[in-house]
Amino acid sequence: MLDPVKAWHEEHMYFSRLLRLLRKEVEVFHGGDAPNTQLMLDIISYLREYADQYHHPREDEAFRRLVALRPDRQLPLARLMQEHRVIARAGDELARMLEEIDAGAIIQRADIEEAAAIFLVYYGNHIAREEEDILPLAGRLLQEPDWIAVKDAAPAGNDPLFGAEPLERFRDLRRRIEAEAA
């Protein structure tokens, strides 16, 4: 089995890259130019489809197992699980606004910026706390059967963006990410 903590960390690095890209587009918008709403929607839809469907359910399973082993960490772990739901809702809200802009609706710049800031700040802090507090703890405490259960919590998740065969509709986003990294 691939080192599960390393794989977990790598996903966080991918998500962080996407959040940086999203933040750049929000800054374009803040500067008064038209943002690339399609790119922003692609980022959010990837995060909803992959992170919300696979990454977060797997983490929820890991967190439940960590709570059983370390009841003293119950509070921060429960908070992280709750944040998965908040992140999903904040992403939905931001996507809804961007879709409305695409459909020609006039939306206050401040409203979009606020929705984007909530999503970006929440998500960024969430990942940072997992990286600092939880991954090292999981690496020490979880055993092989735990990691199997974690993977099985959301089986067969092919990453449609960063995986070996990205989906057609994520090709633009993938190219953009590769250009940023170069």
Nearer to Fe ion, 52 or 130 (CB): 130
Please say which residue, 47 or 115, places its beta carbon nearer to Fe ion: 47
Size of the site for Fe ion (CB under 5 A): 2
**Least gap, CB of 126 to Fe ion (angstroms):** 6
2: its two tokens: 């691939």
Distance of CA 182 to the CA centre of its chain: 22
Binding residues among 120-139 for Fe ion as defined by CB under 5 A: 130
User: Tokens 């966080």 map to which residue?
Assistant: 12
Q: Which is nearer to Fe ion, 38 or 125 (CB)?
A: 125
Using the contact rule CB under 5 A, the part of the chain among 25-33, 42-50, 58-66, 154-162 near Fe ion is 58-66
Q: How far is residue 148's CA from residue 170's CA, in Å, rounded to a whole number?
A: 29
- Cα 39 from Cα 42, distance rounded (Å): 5
Residue 42 touches Fe ion, criterion: CB under 5 A: no
CA 96 to chain CA centroid, Å, is 17
Q: Which residue, 39 or 81, has its beta carbon nearer to Fe ion?
A: 81
Write the binding mask 67 to 106 for Fe ion: x where contact by CB under 5 A, - elsewhere.
----------------------------------------
Name the DSSP letter for residue 33.
S
59 forms part of the interface with Fe ion (CB under 5 A): yes
Token pair 């739901």 is found at: 85
Tokens of 68: 């059983």
CA separation, residue 152 to residues 23, 141, 146 (Å)? 33, 18, 10
Tokens of 169: 């509709």
- Distance of closest approach, residue 15 Cβ to Fe ion, in angstroms: 7
Of 3 and 172, CB closest to Fe ion: 3
Chain positions contacting Fe ion, by CB under 5 A: 59, 130
